[in-house]
Structures are given as structure tokens and as C-alpha cells.
Amino acid sequence: MPRNIKFIVVHCTATSQNTSISAIQSYWKNQLGWKMPGYHFIIKPDGELVQLLPIEQVSNGVQGFNSQSINISYIGGVDQKNIPTDNRTLAQKATLLKKLKELKLKFPLAKIQGHRDFPNVHKACPSFDAIKEYKDV
């Protein structure tokens, strides 16, 4: 049965930009005990898009909303002191915009928003206002 996608959710990893995808995946599995990844897609600082999970499957992006969400993240989102900051590279911004446009074509009714824009979320993720930035996508 196809999933009813209502949200395309933008995330940051809340790590330094030189954090490897394998380290992030290891954290999910070993620290959080997740069986599924946190995002469907992750974007490296050089702009490379890596798919971690088919969009037909449910990832662990936003508690309570995962069955109706596609989750996409960029590596970064905090500075050296772990303070939330929008440190997306130009390549990450370009890849993110391109992927959001593709997903919006496939799911025209889905709302693009940040993780922080969901109810009862107490984090800065993705460290910028995704609703405002992508309102015209």
C-alpha cells in the first residue's frame, strides 16, 4: 500500500560537517536502537546526495509523523560549540533545493517544513526556517 505523504521534512544532522554517514548510521543503531535510518536522504558538504532508504519505507525522522513523511537532511547544522547554525554549503543548498523540487513534483500536496516546525519538537533542526525558504517550491 503506498504511503500517504503529507510532509517533506528538512533536517540537519546536528553534527560537524566532517561527520561521516557511517558514523551517523552507527549512532542511530547503537545509541538510539533504531532499526531504520533517521532520513531517506542525506546530503554531504560537497553536495552529494546519498539515499539511505527507499521513500516507500518509513524512516525515523519526526516522532509521530514518520508514516506520512519523507525525511531529508544535510550534514551539519551546528558550530564547533554545538550551537545551532545554518552552515549549509552552497553545494548542499543546491542539492537540497533540487531534491525538494523533485519530491514536490511527486507529492504536490505535501508540505515542506523543518523538523522544528512540528508540534512538541524542542530542537532547532534544521537550523533555518525551511517553511520560509521553500515556500515557493
Question: In the numeric block, which cell numbers belong to residue 120?
Answer: 512538541
Is residue 40 part of the annotated active site? The answer reads no
Peptide bond into 37 cis (omega under 30): no
Q: Which of 40, 74, 115, 134 is catalytic?
A: 115
Is 123 part of the annotated catalytic residue set?
A: yes
Question: Any catalytic annotation for residue 12?
Answer: no
Active-site pick, 11, 40, 44, 99: 11
Catalytic residue, chosen from 12, 39, 44, 74, is 39
Q: Confirm whether 125 is a catalytic residue.
A: yes
Task: Specify the length of the chain in residues.
Answer: 137
Task: Pick the catalytic residue from 6, 104, 111, 123.
Answer: 123
134 is catalytic: no
Q: Out of 40, 44, 125, 134, which one is annotated catalytic? A: 125
CB atoms within 10 A of CB 63: 9
Do 28 and 15 touch, CB atoms closer than 8 A?
no
Helix and strand element counts for the chain (H, E): 3, 5
Name the residues annotated as catalytic.
11, 39, 115, 123, 125
